[in-house]
A and B are shown apart, each in its own frame.
Chain A
Amino acid sequence: MACNKEVWQDLGEGFVQEYYSRFDNTNRMELGNLYSPEACLTWEGSPYQGREAIASKLASLPFKTIKHIITEQDFQPTIDGCILIMVFGQLKVDDDPPMAFHQVFMLKSQNCAWACTNDVFRLGIHNIPV
């Protein structure tokens, strides 16, 4: 019996898969194409405005290899017809120990394609009890 996933869940899962695949397996120059022209990124508390600034930030991250493992992802539709996504997982950069991360995306349909308008990324280190 087929499991009927909601449309937003399908779209969200597709986006998440594509995003981390491009992130991990390319030079990240093409990540910019997933964002809308006026998208906002907050990367570890620093804001980046617009597709070009975001693409530039992501392409310039200082590691040779990275791998993301997604442990959980949640999807919700919004009143304005967008899709809100929350991702939890771990990432491994070069030979560093794995670290937890948490990322939120908002997707909006623009010109018949879904683009990311909002992206917030934080490492999970903030959660470790002192």
Chain B
Amino acid sequence: MVDQPLWEQIGSSFVQHYYAVFDSERENLGAIYIDSSCLTWEGQQYQGKTAIVDKLKSLPFSKIAHNITAQDHQPTPDCCILSMVVGQLRADDDPIMGFHQSFLLKNINDAWVCTNDMFRLAIHNFG
């Protein structure tokens, strides 16, 4: 059995947790962000845990399901973890859409938090 590098274990656990919480109770995502976190959501910037959670809570759908098709994780020189996710999502009864999301995770006080988050729907790829 091949052991996954630590950053892959942490990255994939984070990704699993993030989308599980997002799809069930996204108002609880605040715990993974800190006051200096940044989110770029479809090109709009949100700064800090409160603004980020407010944005995610205000997204206009009742239900959502994410399906991850690929995820990549790398360690960074400052001991953070960079994770890139590619997948599909379905909001309410809308058609399935592709999405891309990147996270930067940092260990602060023995907990891995998300300091940077960038999300885009895949529609931008088809010009």
Contact = CB atoms under 8 A, between A and B. Distances in A.
Interface string B63-106: 00000011010111110101010111000000011111010101
B122 A42 contact: no
Interface residues of A, number: 36
Given A78-B116, A86-B102, A100 B125 contact: yes
A122 B102 CA distance: 12
Secondary structure of the B side of the interface? strand
A80 B70 contact: no
Interface stretch (B15-23, B24-32, B36-44, B49-57): B36-44
A88 B125 contact: yes
A40, A47, A101: residue with the most chain B Cβ atoms closer than 10 Å: A40
B76 to A, nearest CB: 6
Contacts, number: 115
Contacts of A77: 38
Nearest to A108: B77
Given A88-B120, A127-B86, A127-B122, A69 B115 contact: no
Nearest to B5: A47
B80 A127 contact: no
A38 interface: yes
Can you list the 10 inter-chain pairs with the closest CB atoms, starting with the nearest? A127-B98, A100-B125, A80-B78, A126-B69, A127-B122, A120-B84, A42-B72, A72-B124, A86-B118, A74-B40
Interface of A: 36, 38, 40, 42, 45, 47, 69, 71-72, 74, 76-80, 82, 84, 86, 88-90, 100-102, 104, 106, 108, 117-118, 120, 122, 124, 126-129
